[in-house]
Amino acid sequence: MNIQSIKQRFEIIGNSPLLDRAIDIACQVAPTDISVLISGESGVGKEVFPKIIHHLSARKHGPYIAINCGAIPEGTIDSELFGHEKGSFTDAHEARKGYFEVANNGTIFLDEVAELPLSTQVRLLRVLESKEFMKVGSSKAVKTNVRVVAATNVNIQDAIEKGKFREDLYYRLNSVPISVPSLRERKQDIDLLFRKFSSDFAEKYRMPPLILDEQAKQYLINYHWQGNVRQLKNITEQISIIERDRNITLDTLIKYLPETNQRDLPVLFEKADTTQGFSERELLYKVLFDMKKDIHDLKKIIAEIMQNDSINDNNMKQHPFINKHRQNFDDFIDEDKDIEIQHIYEDKISQEDVKNDIEEEELSLQKKEMDLIKKAIEKYKGKRRKAAEELGISERTLYRKLKELGINL
């Protein structure tokens, strides 16, 4: 079977070369009995590849069992996988076959294999090496002819270094690796997937399919899909159910997509070539933005203390902000407290002065923020995605900042 017919049979949507490569490897390894380890982020669709391998193998008429290793409690997983004898533990009222015995001459898919306890990993390694296992509570070896396909969404090498996964088991499982690309690596498939999901939900809920305008489509394609295909399908279903207007604009789409970058202020990335980017003075604004909150907190402390008309070590040290930076403030107060406190009284700084300082600083920082955004927009000739990358913020944050600052493109 060619790749296109495989996609049709297993309902795989997409034309990404990385996706095609993964499918091709699955087809090539299917006729053999080699163990396969499938890796990829959560939500990319790893579960379809064991089905391809099983149905294209000589075992296709045998059992196919998919097991989520992370969903089985540690205390019962050995019994689930390998079975147990009657009386082997408290609730073992009768003997029971495990999945490896039931799936004889078939295929077992171990999803989230990295979640297996170390003791179970030892049992699994024996199955892979000798094709035999022992039930819980038994000393008799049971033979099994099972093909093992495993999958994980974690970095196995990191798990090995942390002592959570056996290195010898990893090499046994990883005879042939298949890497399933994330949605971010197959951007050309995003619009195709959205239209497929939209059509499916339109049929399911008996309503017209969704239609994205050009801006919404580009935003969808460039969005950081942390949950991959599963997240895209979920978002599409939400919009299909909630929105009455089937023509989806960028403003509508953004409401359903969570913020992927926590930073709200534009901050510049350090780059080797700064001659074509921002000036050194503008880079200093990055430091100012980072200091902004602490400066405001410090000024508010002074205003609060002056309002109470009482300044002493205890007042200052008990303040939450100063508590956070206790050592720095202790050094400051102990070193020169009398001079500094007297200086504050002599100058008679008013609350209104402090308030004006804060307002002037906010206006100044807002202006610099606006200048940085405009400079980035001009540099990339209105291309918001490139501008957002330059500023170190998400495209969604840039879109919101443009609206807040009243910048029209």
DSSP state of 309: T
Tens digits of per-residue pLDDT, 362-378? 556 677 777 788 888 88
Closest CA to 232 of 44, 21, 394, 38: 44
d(CA 65, CA 61): 13
pLDDT of residue 70: 92
Task: Answer yes or no: do 239 and 305 share one domain.
Answer: no
Instruction: Tell me, yes or no, whether 262 lies in a domain.
Output: no
Task: Answer yes or no: do 32 and 85 share one domain.
Answer: yes
Q: Contact, 83 vs 132, CB < 8 A?
A: no
Task: Answer yes or no: do 172 and 189 share one domain.
Answer: no
Among candidate residues 181, 205, 221, the one where a domain is terminated: 181
Q: Count up the domains in the chain and report the number.
A: 3
Tens digits of per-residue pLDDT, 120-157? 999 999 999 999 999 999 889 999 999 999 999 999 99
Q: Contact, 285 vs 372, CB < 8 A?
A: yes
User: Which residues are CB-contacts of 180 (< 8 A; sequence separation ≥ 6)?
Assistant: 19, 22, 38, 39, 40, 44, 45, 46, 49
Closest CA to 164 of 173, 174, 154: 154
pLDDT of residue 294: 65
Instruction: Check whether 247 has a pLDDT greater than 90.
Output: yes
Among candidate residues 181, 211, 236, the one where a domain is terminated: 181
d(CA 288, CA 365): 8
Task: Answer yes or no: do 35 and 19 share one domain.
Answer: yes
pTM score: 0.65
Cα-based distances in Å from 367 to 59, 269, 371, 383, 407: 68, 20, 6, 21, 12
In one-letter notation, the amino acid at residue 357 is D
Instruction: Tell me, yes or no, whether 150 lies in a domain.
Output: yes
Closest CA to 357 of 299, 301, 310: 299
For residue 227, the tally of other CB atoms under 10 A from its CB is 16
Task: Answer yes or no: do 250 and 319 share one domain.
Answer: no
Tokens coding 87: 């009386």
**pLDDT band with cut points at 50, 70 and 90 for residue 325:** low
Average pLDDT over the chain reads 82
Q: Contact, 62 vs 45, CB < 8 A?
A: no
Closest CA to 18 of 249, 234, 253, 185: 185
pLDDT of residue 105: 96
pLDDT of residue 393: 81
Question: Is the model more confident about 320 or about 221?
Answer: 221
d(CA 24, CA 3): 7
**pLDDT band with cut points at 50, 70 and 90 for residue 396:** confident
Count the helices and strands in the chain (H runs, E runs): 19, 9
Instruction: Check whether 272 has a pLDDT greater than 90.
Output: no
pLDDT of residue 98: 94
Task: Answer yes or no: do 311 and 347 share one domain.
Answer: yes
Read off the pLDDT of each residue in 337-346 and give the average, rounded to a whole number. Answer: 47
pLDDT of residue 285: 54
Task: Answer yes or no: do 173 and 189 share one domain.
Answer: no
Q: Contact, 137 vs 96, CB < 8 A?
A: no
Instruction: Check whether 197 has a pLDDT greater than 80.
Output: yes
Percentage of the residues of the chain whose pLDDT score is greater than 90? 58
Instruction: Check whether 277 has a pLDDT greater than 60.
Output: no
Show the domain range for 56.
3-181
Among candidate residues 181, 201, 224, the one where a domain is terminated: 181
b or e along 101-110 (b: 16 or more beta carbons within 10 Å of the residue's beta carbon)?
Answer: bebeebbbbb
Strand, coil or helix: what is 98? coil
Instruction: Tell me, yes or no, whether 269 lies in a domain.
Output: no
Which helix H or strand E contains 133, and what residues bound it?
strand 132-134
Instruction: Check whether 39 has a pLDDT greater than 90.
Output: yes
Task: Answer yes or no: do 157 and 297 share one domain.
Answer: no
pLDDT of residue 196: 96
Tokens 């399908």, residue?
Answer: 233
Which helix H or strand E contains 334, and what residues bound it?
helix 326-347
b or e along 175-193 (b: 16 or more beta carbons within 10 Å of the residue's beta carbon)?
Answer: ebebbbbbbebbeebbeeb
Task: Answer yes or no: do 194 and 301 share one domain.
Answer: no
Task: Answer yes or no: do 34 and 151 share one domain.
Answer: yes
pLDDT of residue 276: 44
Tokens coding 309: 């008309």
Task: Answer yes or no: do 97 and 171 share one domain.
Answer: yes
Task: Answer yes or no: do 118 and 202 share one domain.
Answer: no
Phi, psi of 151 (to 5 degrees): -145, 150
Rg (CA), the chain: 30
Length of the chain: 409
